[in-house]
Amino acid sequence: MLRWFGFKAAGAIVAAVGVVSATGVQAQEARYLASNCANCHGTEGRSAGGGGMPGLAGLSRAYFLEQMNAFRSGARQATVMHQIAKGYTDEQIAQLADFFSKQPVAGK
């Protein structure tokens, strides 16, 4: 029974594979898109917290949308986010807002 792939503890990510509904596919797409942010803001938006880099996990949908739009319009000053935010469509930003609002702040 020992398999080199079989050691993963149960209770982890099992929902993503197998039969996936239409909403499941959309959720998976949002998850893929959100990985763009992880390099700086942490995996699934959970930042290690150093240097004032904000985590995105658990931010309300409304707040996330408002801030991203403020970066895009220039209403909120930034070092880099005004440049990054302009790379994404309204629809993508809405997907990201949904995704991060549903992420737990603490790690799994």
Partner 1 sequence: MHRFDESRRRVLLAAGAGTGLATLGACATTPPVAEKRLGRVLVVGAGYGGATAAKYLKLWGGAGIEVMLVDRQTAFVSCPLSNLVLGGSRAIEDLTVGYEGLRRQGVVVLSDEVQGIDPVRRRVRFGKFADQTFDRIVVSPGVDFDFGAVQGLDADAQSTILHAWKAGPQTVALRRQLEAMPDGGVYVLTIPPAPYRCPPGPYERACQVAHYFKTRKPRSKVIVLDANPEIISKKGLFTKVFTEDYKGIIDYRAQNHVTEIDARGRTAITELGDRIRADVLNVVPPQSAAGLARAAGLVNTNNRWCQVDWVTMESTAAPGIHVLGDATFSAPAMPKSGHMANQHGKTAAAAIVELMNGRAPKPMMMANTCYSFVDDQRVIHVASVHRYDADKKTMQTVPGSGGVSTAPSTLEGTYANAWAQNIWRDMLA
Q: How many CB atoms lie within 10 A of CB 44?
A: 20
Binding of residue 88 to partner 1 (CB under 8 A)? yes
Residue window 48-87: x/- pattern of binding to partner 1, with contact defined by CB under 8 A: xxxxxx-------------------------xx--xxxxx
- Closest approach, Cβ 73 to partner 1, in A, equals 12
- The region that residue 46 occupies, defined by phi over 0 for left and psi between -120 and 50 for alpha, beta otherwise, is beta
Indicate the DSSP class of residue 63. H
Nearest to 13 by CA among 47, 58, 44: 44
Task: Name the residues that contact partner 1, by CB under 8 A.
Answer: 1-14, 16-18, 20, 25, 28-29, 31-33, 35-43, 47-53, 79-80, 83-88, 92
